[in-house]
Amino acid sequence: MVTCKEPLRVSIGNHLRALLQASVSESQRGLVEHAVQAVCTDNLDLACTFIERTTTDKAISLTDEALAAALEARIKHREVRKYQDPSKTVRSYNFPASNPVASPILMSTSFLAVILPHYPRHFNPNHAASR
């Protein structure tokens, strides 16, 4: 929506006035002002509609350009990898071996030896059967 109708009306009026006054005689100057007012009033909504449409088209064009690369990547991904139900996929979390904290603790057997006695039924499915 055009929020500057009054400045637009003034600008149209000034341009029309300058064009018409240069081409008419001194005796017709009063008619110029009346014609300028009539033309401005009649065409202000048309000019606002034109500005709105032009702005909308430009915004759509810029948005399409900005999203083109992401859209192309999605299309290529969809062609390569078909849809998978997220509830049926298993997520695996790979801890890097170079992690100085996680690697020695999680990968060592001494860590498992300390943890397993505290949580036997979680880590040992045969625990309940052995009792």
Render pLDDT for 64-103 as a digit per residue (tens, 0 to 9).
999 999 989 888 887 877 666 665 655 555 555 555 555 5
Render pLDDT for 23-71 as a digit per residue (tens, 0 to 9).
888 888 888 889 999 999 999 999 999 999 999 999 999 999 999 999 8
- Burial readout 28-52 (b: 16 or more C-beta within 10 A, e: otherwise): eeeebeeebeeebeeebeebbeeee
Amino acid 42: pLDDT = 92
Maximum Cα–Cα distance across the chain: 117
Is pTM beyond 0.85? Reply is no
Amino acid 79: pLDDT = 80
Domain boundaries, the chain: 5-84, 95-131
Given a contact cutoff of 8 angstroms between Cβ atoms, the answer to whether 8 and 2 are in contact is: yes
Amino acid 62: pLDDT = 94
